[in-house]
Amino acid sequence: MPFIPHTEDDVSAMLTVIGVASIDDLFDEIPAGLNVAGLPRVGPGLSEAEIARLMTERADGDGRELCFAGAGAYDHYIPAAVWEIATRGEYYSAYTPYQAEASQGTLQLIYEFQSMMAGLTGLDVANASLYDGATAFAEACLMAVRANRASRSRRVLTTRAMSPAYRDVARSILGGQGVELVELPLTDGLTALDAFGAEDGDFAALAIQQPNFLGRLEAVDQLTDWAQARKMLVIGVCHPTMLALLKPPGAWGQAGADIACGEGQPLGIPLSSGGPYFGYLTCRLPLVRQMPGRVVGRTVDLDGRPGFTLTLQAREQHIRRSRATSNICTNQGLMVTAATIYMSLLGAEGLRRVAAQCHANTRALVTALTGLPGVVLAFRPFCHEAVLQFDCPVAPLLEGLSRQGILGGYDLSEDYPELGQALLVCATEMRSAADIERYAVVLKGLMTAPLRAQGG
């Protein structure tokens, strides 16, 4: 029987020890009416060879598009060593490291991860991950509301340049506790403060994204100082790879942001249709007791030798129950394992090169595409993503590109109708000059061909 080691002899000997006649008898406490005989709708089991063939065919059918989309998930190169090691059984099949002596591998790795994330964001401490960037953003908002001693506001100020998905998710999660999200408007793709007045009231925090969802670089120093002058905490939502190049949240403004969070996927996690990824969260040391999620600390053992253990567990649901900082239990541990290996392989210089190359490639892409009539760049400068505006609808172009195996970007018309027929594009370090050329050629064909003729 698949995955079940018992021989028939085992079963009868075991039933004898228990003192019942059959396995079914062990379920005799289930009231009669609630019993079901089986799961006919699930169908028969497949051998490993059969399911392997099915999955291989499906995966082959899906293929891989030449990817010029970012918008929250990025096609970076993942060194082979990352997943060859992360999927070692000792990492893959271990539980949360509650028994520290039997989990030093995972614990030390998380400690190293915390150190790296603190270094990247320029803050003091990090947790062991949240589900993804969007939920990390939501948790950061809740954390700020709890942590801000200077304000009793249950409102968090953010901006229209924050990822629309993050804002959606945060609203789903914050609503329960009556925490509200308010958005600052944009000017030229950047968060604008001009319209904000005293009558807009008190906020627990300001949350900004750097680079923002439109690929723009916010004036983080100014925004940070502005918010902290108004007793808000500052939350920076950052692309971790870009942090190898950009000023870290801990260095924003006079005092530095208070909390940083974001999507960890760029750090060695495959695109994989959207998950599993991981959210990271770091903060200044005084806020650590309001932090959600697991934390590892270094300490010593009975013999005085260094070792690692979960700490500050009094924040967590398994100890504090209804008064925990969050309900999170299972997090994205294995992704953290991969990211830690990834960052170790790349180092600061490697990560910086990746970031710089993304910027350079996206510039090359923008140059190539804006060379076509009817395509203009919305804002400049941009970081690793850019907004292009078209003189025709974007959706049919994306369909046409897709038929040729190109994922042309993310259509902004629904989230940002004010930008017109706009497309968010991204060329990571994975895209070659030839790839960019190909995109331009195919797009040109689509924009001059019957499609356009019909449209116009």
Partner 1 sequence: MKTEPVIFEYSRPGRRAPSHAPAEAAGPGDLPAAVLRTDPPALPEVSELQAVRHFTRLSQLNFSIDTHFYPLGSCTMKYNPRACNRLAMLPGFLGRHPLGAVERGQGFLACMHELQEMLKAVTGMPGVSLTPMAGAQGELAGVAMIRAYHRARGDGARRVVIVPDAAHGTNPATAVMCGFEVREIPTDPSGDVDLEALRSAVGPDTAGIMLTNPSTLGVFERRIGEIAAIVHGVGGLLYYDGANLNAILGRALPAAMGFDVVHINLHKTFSTPHGGGGPGAGVVAVTQRLEPFLPVPMVTCEAGRYRWLTGRERPQSIGRLSAFMGNAGILLRAYVYMRMLGGEGMRRVSGFATLNANYLMAKLRESGFEIAFPGRRASHEFIVSLKGLSRETGVTAMDFAKALLDHGYHAPTTYFPLLVPECLLIEPTETESREELDGFVAALVAIRDLARRDPAQVKAAPLTTPVRRLDDVRAARDLDLTWQSKRPATGGA
User: Which residues between 84 and 143 bind partner 1 (CB under 8 A)?
Assistant: 84-85, 87-106, 108-112, 114-116, 118-120, 122, 124-126, 128-129, 131-135
Out of 79, 105, 275, 297, the residue judged to bind its own copies by CB under 8 A: 79
- Token output for 414: 């629904």
Contact 132, 263 (CB under 8 A): yes
User: Which residues between 327 and 356 bind ligand PLP (CB under 6 A)?
Assistant: 329-330
How many CB atoms within 10 Å of residue 27? 10
Out of 255, 360, 441, 449, the residue judged to bind partner 1 by CB under 8 A: 360
Q: Is 306 in the site for partner 1 (CB under 8 A)?
A: yes
| Host H or E run for residue 423 | strand 422-426
The stretch among 83-91, 134-142, 173-181, 228-236 that binds its own copies (CB under 8 A) is 83-91
Cα dihedral sign for 69, 71, 76, 82? Answer: negative
* Whether the bond into 373 is cis, omega within 30 of 0: no
451: partner contacted, choices partner 1, ligand PLP, its own copies, none (Cβ within 5-8 A by kind): none
CA–CA separation, 137 and 73 (whole Å): 15
Amino acid code (one letter) for 62: D
DSSP state of 104: H
Give the angle subtended at the CA of 263 by the CAs of 394 and 95, to the nearest 5°.
Answer: 135
Out of 194, 198, 254, 303, the residue judged to bind partner 1 by CB under 8 A: 303
Out of 21, 54, 433, 441, the residue judged to bind partner 1 by CB under 8 A: 54
Q: Is 52 in the site for its own copies (CB under 8 A)?
A: yes
Q: Is 77 in the site for its own copies (CB under 8 A)?
A: yes
Which conformational region is residue 293 in: left (phi greater than 0), alpha (psi within -120 to 50 degrees), or beta? left
How many CB atoms within 10 Å of residue 93? 9
The stretch among 46-54, 161-169, 177-185, 250-258 that binds its own copies (CB under 8 A) is 46-54
Q: Is 319 in the site for ligand PLP (CB under 6 A)?
A: no
Q: Is 434 in the site for partner 1 (CB under 8 A)?
A: no
The residues binding its own copies (CB under 8 A) are: 48-49, 52-53, 77, 79-80, 84-85, 87-89, 429-430
The residues binding ligand PLP (CB under 6 A) are: 329-330
